[in-house]
């Protein structure tokens, strides 16, 4: 029997066990924000990894925002010195309805918050790693698990801690994360830059408007050139492949959130808006900060506005060569299980791969879930696809160590 068939059979024999674990994880509400129930979910994951013989530990993290018991669950499979990381996150975005925590099974699918993004992916990784070990495929290699708790709100507590504390081995062969790519391989991701732009004016009664300084008017004056810039940036298209050509432009959203501090019958004494910039791998974080700051400062100076800029999020983009040997190993593993080679694409959002790629570790996203249902009210994962994905992970680990 060839390796792919052996792995498939090993995983298929555990179909009910995998579905049961996924249902259990989905029923644990780990909505983030605010970051509920993270300690409870981590404890269960630790227990499962213990049962699978993955020598797990929980690394508690310092309090962060409203996260409940933030931590990283770490474990390893195999004895070898060469490392491949299996990376996942167990927080989920807020549900549209409480019924999404019921983990409903129908038509070969499991429905519920986090099934695709990415508790289903974690189940695939756990069973894929176990299959690789049980079938003796790891050779001189070792799979290290990093399961983090705060991917949905910026990853400072989870992956940021792993990187900051030196817990990522920079000589690792590869990192793989189970984001919902629907069978494509994400080998690159955009960077993110979020700013809050504030305006200070002077509040005055509407009947004495001449005494006020209208912060909202200043905001409009500064927002206008940013809006022009957003149109310009959309023309800067990435050369990385993406599923939909229309999303290849470099993104800038002006005023995703905005406000002013007063009632309608007063001159607003303060106002603010957000700008969210998602830049392509060809673009540089520091250059983008300088570009936006320059447009804002120039417009503010000509409007006579008192402006302040706060950077809320700054994440560089990241990419790994498509033809890197570990990328080819992943493509070969996918082809063995699915019968066709996967497409390599740029992830339209930001991706945890960046924390590893920044350190020179080849990093990829690959998962069975679908991006278009993730974060939505009808989120689901196809159970058979989740099992095939587990087989891909097992074969990838085997191939990456050869």
Would you call 188 helix, strand, or coil by DSSP? strand
Name the residue nearer to Zn ion (CB basis): 69 or 117.
117
Nearest to 326 by CA among 85, 122, 11, 88: 85
Q: How far is the CB of 177 from Zn ion (least distance, A)?
A: 8
Determine contact, residues 321/357, Cβ cutoff 8 Å.
Answer: no
Q: How far is the CB of 189 from Zn ion (least distance, A)?
A: 12
Name the residue nearer to Zn ion (CB basis): 119 or 142.
119
CA 131-21-362 angle, to 5 degrees, is 50
Q: How far is the CB of 185 from Zn ion (least distance, A)?
A: 16
Q: How far is the CB of 349 from Zn ion (least distance, A)?
A: 9
Name the residue nearer to Zn ion (CB basis): 186 or 216.
186
Name the residue nearer to Zn ion (CB basis): 92 or 262.
92
Name the residue nearer to Zn ion (CB basis): 179 or 203.
179
Looking at 28-165, list the stretches that DSSP marks H as alpha helix, in order from N- to C-terminal side.
38-51, 120-134, 159-164
Alpha carbons 141 and 133: distance in angstroms, whole number: 10
CA 200-202-208 angle, to 5 degrees, is 155
Q: How far is the CB of 159 from Zn ion (least distance, A)?
A: 12
Name the residue nearer to Zn ion (CB basis): 70 or 201.
70
Name the residue nearer to Zn ion (CB basis): 8 or 161.
161
Q: How far is the CB of 91 from Zn ion (least distance, A)?
A: 9
Q: How many other CB atoms sit within 10 Å of the CB of residue 249?
A: 18
What's 13's DSSP letter?
T
Which residues of this protein are in contact with Zn ion, per CB under 5 A?
A: 117-118, 179
The residue whose two tokens read 């630790």 is 46
DSSP codes joined into one string, 310-333: EEEEEE--EE--TTSHHHHHHHHH
Tokens of 98: 């409480």
Q: How far is the CB of 151 from Zn ion (least distance, A)?
A: 5
Q: How far is the CB of 90 from Zn ion (least distance, A)?
A: 10
Q: How many other CB atoms sit within 10 Å of the CB of residue 325?
A: 14
Q: Which residue is nearest to Zn ion (CB)?
A: 117
Determine contact, residues 376/94, Cβ cutoff 8 Å.
Answer: no
Name the residue nearer to Zn ion (CB basis): 152 or 383.
152
The residue whose two tokens read 């996942």 is 88
Q: How many other CB atoms sit within 10 Å of the CB of residue 335?
A: 15
Q: Give the rounded distance of the alpha carbon of 52 from its chain centre.
A: 26
């Amino acid at each position: 029997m060839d390796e792919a068939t052996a792995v498939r059979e090993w995983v298929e024999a555990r179909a009910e066990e995998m579905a049961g674990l996924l249902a259990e994880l989905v029923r644990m509400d780990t909505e983030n924000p605010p970051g509920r129930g993270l300690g409870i979910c981590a404890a269960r994951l630790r227990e499962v990894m213990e049962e699978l013989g993955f020598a797990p530990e929980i690394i508690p993290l310092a309090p962060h925002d409203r996260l409940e018991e933030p931590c990283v669950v770490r474990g390893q499979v195999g004895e070898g010195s060469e490392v491949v990381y299996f990376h996942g996150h167990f927080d989920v975005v807020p549900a549209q309805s409480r019924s999404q925590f019921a983990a409903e099974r129908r038509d070969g699918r499991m429905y519920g918050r986090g099934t695709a993004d990415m508790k289903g992916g974690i189940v695939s990784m756990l069973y894929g790693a176990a299959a690789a070990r049980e079938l003796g495929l790891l050779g001189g290699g070792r799979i290290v698990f990093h399961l983090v708790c705060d991917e949905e709100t910026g990853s400072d507590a989870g992956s940021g801690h792993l990187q900051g504390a030196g817990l990522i081995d920079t000589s690792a062969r590869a990192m793989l994360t189970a984001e919902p790519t629907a069978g494509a391989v994400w080998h690159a991701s955009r960077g993110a830059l979020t700013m809050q732009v504030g305006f200070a004016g002077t509040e005055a009664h509407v009947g004495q408007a001449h005494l006020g300084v209208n912060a909202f008017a200043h905001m409009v004056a500064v927002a206008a050139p940013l809006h022009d810039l957003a149109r310009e940036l959309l023309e800067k298209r990435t050369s990385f492949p993406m599923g939909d050509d229309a999303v290849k432009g470099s993104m800038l959203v002006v005023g995703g959130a905005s406000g002013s501090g007063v009632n309608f019958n007063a001159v607003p004494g303060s106002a603010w808006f957000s700008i969210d910039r998602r830049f392509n791998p060809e673009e540089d974080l520091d250059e983008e900060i300088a570009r936006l700051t320059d447009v804002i400062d120039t417009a503010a100076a000509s409007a006579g506005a008192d402006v302040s800029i706060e950077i809320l999020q700054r994440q560089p983009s990241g990419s790994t060569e498509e033809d890197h040997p570990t990328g080819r190993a992943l493509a070969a593993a996918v082809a063995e299980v699915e019968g066709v080679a996967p497409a390599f694409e740029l992830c339209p959002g930001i991706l945890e791969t960046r924390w590893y790629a920044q350190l020179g570790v080849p990093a990829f996203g690959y998962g069975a879930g679908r991006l278009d249902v993730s974060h939505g009210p009808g989120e689901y994962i196809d159970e058979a696809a989740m099992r095939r994905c587990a087989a891909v992970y097992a074969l990838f680990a085997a191939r990456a160590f050869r």
